[in-house]
Amino acid sequence: MKCIINRRAEFSASHRYWLPELSEAENTEKFGLCACAPGHGHNYVLYVSMVGDLDQYGMVLNLSDVKQVIAREVTRQLDFSYLNHAWEEFQQTLPTTENITRVIWQRLADHLPLVRIQLFEHPELWAEYEGNGMEAYLTVSTHFSAAHRLALPHLTLEQNSEIYGKCARVNGHGHNYHLEVTIKGKIDPRTGMIADLGAFQKAIEDSVIEPFDHTFLNKDISYFEQVVPTAENIAIHIRDLLQPPIQEIGAKLHKVKLIESPNNSCEVYATEEEVLPWSQPVQEAVTA
């Protein structure tokens, strides 16, 4: 039986987005504050996902061995380092979150049966890499507050209450929604970026956060005059709103995850093909 195990690790490091072939003004225009000398730092959180068959001891791998491999090949080398100079790979391609993730995969691939590397630069920005050449994923997490009511207009209050429970109450209720938007694309071999991060964040702000924040969705967002604003329908609408601006910045929208509360969330993908890998589930073991 195949099983995926995950190992968590941490390192602290600094980096700078700076291309010597560009002038100071050009670097600042391209990278913003990330171009400022001498750089800036993060407390990175790394998740290494591995797959294999269970052995006679009920393990995919000996986690003590996994811990030592990750420390030897990655964290001891990167912890308290200046990433631009830490590894040769970052001399050619800048140490962006997505490129660091790719290079960590390359460093570990000969030692561990990898299926995914996930690297958090901070809780609102992370990247994933699955071994597909220069293709990677980048996720931005943000939030908005809004109210809604779940009710079909052609049904009575009693009928809506049977379907939606308390969510059908006539005056509605509110949530602090957390939104995760994931794009995918090819890492630029020089800048290390899938897409301009500032443009990515602006696309989410302009298309979703600004129009949705502090609204009553049923009344203030025309789409929900006819569509019940369940978490699922909100996520689908956000996906559709983001498709054009994400294409404009040179990336592809991969996934939208909407967290309505700590107990409820949903995910929608840009295409049905994106969901197919999940149609054949693999048992997953999360190891502390």
Say whether the peptide bond before residue 38 is cis (omega within 30 degrees of 0): yes
Nearest to 14 by CA among 37, 35, 39, 51: 39
Active site residue 260: yes
Point out the catalytic residue in the list 73, 130, 180, 260. Answer: 260
Half-sphere exposure of 80 (CA within 13 A, CB side): 1
Point out the catalytic residue in the list 167, 232, 267, 274. Answer: 167
- Residue 111 is given by DSSP the state T
Specify the residue for token string 């990175």: 44
What HEC string does 85-98 produce?
A: HHCCHHHHCCCCHH
Return the H-helix or E-strand segment holding 148.
strand 135-148
Active site residue 167: yes
Point out the catalytic residue in the list 85, 173, 214, 248. Answer: 214
Determine how β-strand 264-269 pairs with β-strand 252-261. Answer: antiparallel
Active site residue 42: no
Handedness of CA 20, 26, 32, 36 (dihedral sign): positive
The amino acid sitting at 51 is V
Nearest to 195 by CA among 92, 98, 93: 98
Residues classed as catalytic: 167, 214, 260
